[in-house]
Amino acid sequence: MDLVIFEENKPLVLDGLHHGDFDYIEAASEVFETDFFRFIQATTMLDKLSETYPTPRKKEDVPLWLYAASNLSMRLHGVHSFNSYPMVVRCGGMLNAFGPKAGRKVIHPDTGDVTIACEGFNKKNHYDRETPCDQDYLRKVAKDTDADALMRWFCDDVVRVFRSSRAFDKEGLFIGDASYLFIPDNPNYEGSVKLLFDENDHPISQMEYEKMSDEQKIRCQLRRCYKMVTLLHTNRTLDFFLFVAVKVISGKNHECPVLYELVKQFVETVGTGVMKRLILDRGFLDGKAISTCKKDYGIDILIPARRTMDIYEDAMALFREPDIDWVCCKDPVVEVKEPARPRPKVIVKREKRRQGKLEELKQQKSAPPPEKTLVKREAAVIGEFRSWSSCTVPLSVVANREHYADGHKETWLLIDTKDVQDPSEAHQEYHLRTAIEERHRQLKCFIDLTNFTSRTFSMVVNQVVFIMLSYNLLQIYLLREGRKELNKKTLPRIRQQLLPSDNHIIVYWQNYYGVFSALEFAEMIATLDDQPRKKVAERCRRLRRELDGVMRNPRPP
């Protein structure tokens, strides 16, 4: 069965109803998910993604667009076990986006329950279908898809789709990072390793463990894990967050060469000029790779320096000179969205009292010690550094000096391949790096990124890739719908803001559809002339008889 496209055209549907003509009527309540799938369908992103998917099948009994849509729908619902797919189909709004050919609500003849009847895509069914495809089909395709091929698809073909959809910001700001994916202590997880971590979930060597005190050793533990290396695209105001590359590797492998390989792959896919700024943590210090990014790809890299580096010692000696120009760093101005309507005076007065009470309670609490109370931040820059032997491009070094209440100062350095004029700007840019850490936290805590239901590595990668793909598509959808403020929220919070939606009646006519409220539809039918109204009534009776006989051979309860 080919994909049937339905376009929204309410005036045409209304004209058909006034003459008593329509094809199908259904009620839809999950408008958020329905509109999401209609968006990626109308922008042809779903078609393009399915066309390039690295399918392991030579024969396509079920179209790949349905596999991709079903996988995305599960991730949007926070469900990762394919056994839950029938539940997602029943309670979600995916089928509403693909019209009545994909599925229709009917009454089960044995149980009397409202269920979904689907035509299916082949003639191999012994029972009437209650889902567009079998859950076992989804699981087998995911398991049989090569893990490396799936990650290449995400880093190449998916990125090309985003590029064609103009999803990349002109400023070209990207952030790279790595994160551990902790899993149960089961050696059957393919490719996983067991490492020793401290209380902050940082890996430590045996030598570091032996130097620890007994109290510190108690807090250490062995944990089984994978490692995930990602590239994130955003802008200065953090209006959106797009994962453009991901690589799942063993926890013992170093992330540095993997990330620069992802950068190379991205540039080869979309060309130079898209990624212009890359912000990294000190774990990715590599002079040769940084030089390649600057000279061959035109990417300026901002990364902190280690204290053991020669460039650190040389720069610190110069920053101690009295003629260095230090600039005061101010916190970035947070954009405050004005309410659509002014608040009542009673609420404003109540909020003012509440804030005053909170300030009193804050003052009553014990203040942090002076050595931890930050008073002021300053920054300075010196350019044309070449004392990093492995890096063949000139560097700017930005010093960030923090003043504390007890009088002591702490200084840390940033290395920048760009000719920095304003050191405070580099200081603010580097603090954008926490955006990728927050995205990792949201994926792990609110979408159960590491709640793997299978120990096969291909299934682990499938879950990671489709969670990130659904996250990306949702970010683009909210940005295009003018709801960019929701992009910073967690997925449950986004659903809470968009749902519950109003119930709607969807009327289909000649591959077009119109969405009506229940009262609007009832008023329209009641005001029809006699002949069209009789025609609509007869058509409804015929549809009801057809639906009553749809499930002639239902699966036994």
When pLDDT is cut at 50, 70 and 90, the band that residue 220 belongs to is very high
Q: Are residues 184 and 128 in the same domain?
A: no
> Looking at the domain assignment, is residue 43 inside a domain?
yes
Do 160 and 267 fall within a single domain? yes
The DSSP output letter for 343 is P
Residue 396 within any structural domain of the chain:
no
Q: Is the pLDDT of residue 310 over 80?
A: yes
pLDDT band at 441 (very low <50, low <70, confident <90, very high): very high
Question: What are the tens digits of pLDDT across the range 29-73?
Answer: 556 788 888 889 888 899 999 999 999 998 888 889 989 999 999
pLDDT of residue 1: 42
Indicate the number of domains in the chain.
2
- At residue 496, the 3 state secondary structure works out as helix
Task: Return the exposure string of 48-63: e unless at least 16 CB atoms fall within 10 Å of the residue's CB, then b.
Answer: bbbeebeeeeeeeebb
Domain co-membership, 180 together with 264 = yes
Average pLDDT estimate for 368-391: 86
Residues 172 and 134 in one domain: no
Same domain as 175, residue 135? no
Of 244, 275, 306, the position where a domain reaches its end is 275
SS3 505: strand
Q: How confident is the model at residue 345 (pLDDT cuts 50, 70, 90)?
A: confident
Give me the pLDDT at residue 553, please: 67
Q: Are residues 141 and 163 in the same domain?
A: no
- Does a structural domain hold residue 224? yes
148: burial class by Cβ within 10 Å (0-12, 13-18, 19+)?
A: middle
Residue 20 burial (C-beta neighbours within 10 Å; 0-12, 13-18, 19+): middle
Q: Is residue 100 part of a domain?
A: yes
Q: Are 210 and 239 in contact, with CB atoms under 8 Å apart?
A: no
- 263 in a domain, yes or no? yes
Tens of pLDDT, residues 516-543: 888 888 888 888 888 888 888 888 887 7
Mean pLDDT of 173-190: 95
Give the range among 64-68, 126-130, 165-169 with minimum mean pLDDT.
126-130
Angle at 499 between CA 507 and CA 242, to 5 degrees: 100
- The verdict on 268 and 169 lying in the same domain is yes
17 with 126, same domain: the answer is: yes
Is residue 227 within 8 Å of residue 248, measured between CB atoms?
yes
Domain membership of residue 475 (yes or no) is: no
pLDDT at residue 334 tops 60: no
What type of residue sits at position 551? M
pLDDT, residue 501, reads 55
pTM summary value: 0.84
Q: How far apart are CA 381 and CA 394, in angstroms?
A: 13
Domain identity same for 91 and 17: yes
- Tell me, what's the pLDDT at 524? 86
Q: What percent of the chain has pLDDT over 90?
A: 49
The helix or strand, by DSSP H or E, that contains position 363, with its residue range, turns out to be: helix 345-364
Phi, psi at 385, each rounded to 5°: -85, 135
Relative to beta strand 173-183, strand 277-279 is parallel
Distance of CA 494 to CAs 85, 278, 478, 497, Å?
21, 28, 10, 5
At 329 the pLDDT is 84
Q: Which two tokens stand for residue 343?
A: 């608040």
Q: How many CB atoms lie within 10 A of CB 456?
A: 17
Please indicate, yes or no, if residue 178 is contained in any of the structural domains: yes
Among 275, 295, 320, give the residue marking a domain's end. Answer: 275
Tokens of 397: 């070094």
Q: Which domain covers residue 524, as residue numbers? A: 7-145+503-548
Higher pLDDT, 150 or 494: 150
> Which three-class secondary structure string do you get for 263-332?
HHHHHHHHCCCCCCEEECCHHHCCHHHHHHHHHCCCCEEEEECCCCCHHHHHHHHHHCCCCCCCEECCCC
Residues 197 and 218 in one domain: yes
Q: Please tell me whether residues 28 and 129 are part of one structural domain.
A: yes
Residue 344's pLDDT is 84
Domain C-terminal end among 255, 275, 295: 275
Say which residue, 453 or 5, is predicted with more confidence. Answer: 453
Q: Are residues 163 and 48 in the same domain?
A: no
Which of 20-24, 293-297, 403-407 shows the highest mean pLDDT? 293-297
User: Greater confidence, 141 or 553?
Assistant: 141
Backbone dihedral angles phi then psi of residue 23, each to the nearest 5 degrees: -100, -40
Q: Is the pLDDT of residue 326 over 70?
A: yes
Q: Is the pLDDT of residue 332 over 90?
A: no
In a domain, 348, yes or no: no
C-alpha distances out from residue 506 to 81, 171, 188, 262, 503, Å = 31, 41, 48, 44, 10
User: CA-CA distance, 459 to 188, in Å (whole number)?
Assistant: 13
